[in-house]
Structure 1
């Protein structure tokens, strides 16, 4: 199969369905930011690639950024709500029950950095999966959590999608 044909087919498909791009990205980043699911679906590398493809298809960056940021924000919000509701019982749920070191490291990270842990944790792969849950378990004030959540989701979405969007027209692919 010719790589140029494959590239053209993918770009054409994305251009045809570009109205759905923000929703699809939102669902992907929701899963990436949701406790439990994020441990099973490491989508960061896929998101970087998607940034390239969407830029090649001339989908406006602000649309894909908004979809990705909203999904990431909502995923952490749901994780936070689960933590507030179920407290430490959430730790006994698979896959967290099989990762006690991850939970211990995340709790230590949260104790050390407090509200900043929610912002910084978004950028640290394994911790991203559980930091919002831990913030809920530790009863972080909702307004403080949502401020850190919104700021980190916006910055993270930009950093994950930005390289592909900015470099795609400069690469010889």
Structure 2
């Protein structure tokens, strides 16, 4: 089953079983923000589709925004905790040991931007879940990490939900 087929199936399920929309959106945002697992979770496409369902009145904006924000913040927090407590084991385990350039890029990104890097990192594909892991491994103060994490999560969710919510026509061709 292709990623497009999986995305379409999940969107159909959410549309037909709206009671499950918030838990699914929470879990997908959580998975996309969790180190390693983020590489296989199609949350971005689902959140864009959820925005389209909000735009049609099928889902409500605020609850979906909250579910996605909480899932993303919790995923990053767990990634940070893993990095802080299991630095060497995490960095030298599969799949990160097979992608030293990605780890190096995340370390460089974090060293260059610090707290702002955690905030900005949420918006950049593969770095999204690796930056919190590296922030923890580099012993970033928890308060600074949480500030960046908690402020960036709702902005990230809004950015993904907004196009469908506020009527970008090309989304209808993708998910319609």
Task: Place the TM-score, normalised by the shorter chain, in its bin.
Answer: 0.7 to 0.9
Aligned counterpart, 1:108: 108
- In 1, the alpha carbon distance for the partners of 2:158 and 2:43 equals 15
Trace 1:1-173 onto structure 2 (pairs within 5 A).
14=14, 17-167=17-167
Q: Give the SS at the match of 1:41.
A: coil
- In 2, the alpha carbon distance for the partners of 1:40 and 1:54 equals 25
CA deviation after TM superposition for structure 1 residue 31, in Å: 0.4
Rate the CA distance shift 1:14–1:37 in 2: closer, same or farther, 3 A. closer
Residue pair 1:56, 1:169 contacting (<8 A) in 2 also: no
Output one character per residue of 1:59-118: Cα deviation in whole Å (capped at 9) or x when no partner.
Answer: 110010000000000000000010011013211121111111000000000000000111
Rate the CA distance shift 1:59–1:169 in 2: closer, same or farther, 3 A. farther
- Runs of 4+ residues over 4 Å off in structure 1: 13-16, 168-173
Output one character per residue of 1:5-43: Cα deviation in whole Å (capped at 9) or x when no partner.
Answer: xxxxx77x6465323212110000000000010123243
Q: Give the SS at the match of 1:125.
A: coil
Q: Give the SS at the match of 2:58.
A: coil
- In 1, the alpha carbon distance for the partners of 2:40 and 2:111 equals 25
Aligned length: 164
Q: Which moved more, 1:89-98 or 1:139-148?
A: 89-98
Larger radius of gyration between Structure 1 and Structure 2: 1
Q: Give the SS at the match of 1:167.
A: coil
Residue pair 2:36, 2:95 contacting (<8 A) in 1 also: yes
For structure 2, the residue ranges without an aligned partner over 5 or more in a row are 1-10
- In 2, the alpha carbon distance for the partners of 1:22 and 1:42 equals 16
Residue pair 1:55, 1:168 contacting (<8 A) in 2 also: no
Residue pair 2:28, 2:41 contacting (<8 A) in 1 also: no
